[in-house]
Amino acid sequence: MQPNTIIHIINTPKANNYLYAASKAAIIQMTHHLTADLVKDNININAIAPGFFLNKLTKYIVNEQEAQFDKKMVPKERLGQTEDIADAAIYLSSQASSWMTGHTLVLDGGVIANSGYGEF
């Protein structure tokens, strides 16, 4: 039976923004604790942590066509698109992820994996 799904969206914090980072860590921890409580009710809880995405709120910061990407910063050499988050949410809502619960998918084009936290 397909589980019900809850998905938290958590932005990846920028370097040296300790209060913001702590609030995001709290949501990740809440995801873990809710999973422990709700898994018996057939509810999967996961989170999506996007890095820098081009959207209505970030459009004023950078125009994707003019953006210069440092390979050390964003290994995928592009900004995230709203479709990237939508695809992850579809996956987390589908039967394909029915065995996955209590996890956070980091969608940042490889920033954290490549250079550690706070390099952007």
Active site residues: 20
CB 47 within 8 A of CB 8: yes
Query: Which residues are within 8 A (CB) of 35 and not within 5 positions of it... i.e. 6 or more apart?
Result: 44, 45, 101, 102
Q: How far is CA 84 from the centre of its chain?
A: 10
Pairing of β 4-9 and β 43-50: parallel
Burial of 54 per CB tally in 10 Å (0-12, 13-18, 19+): middle
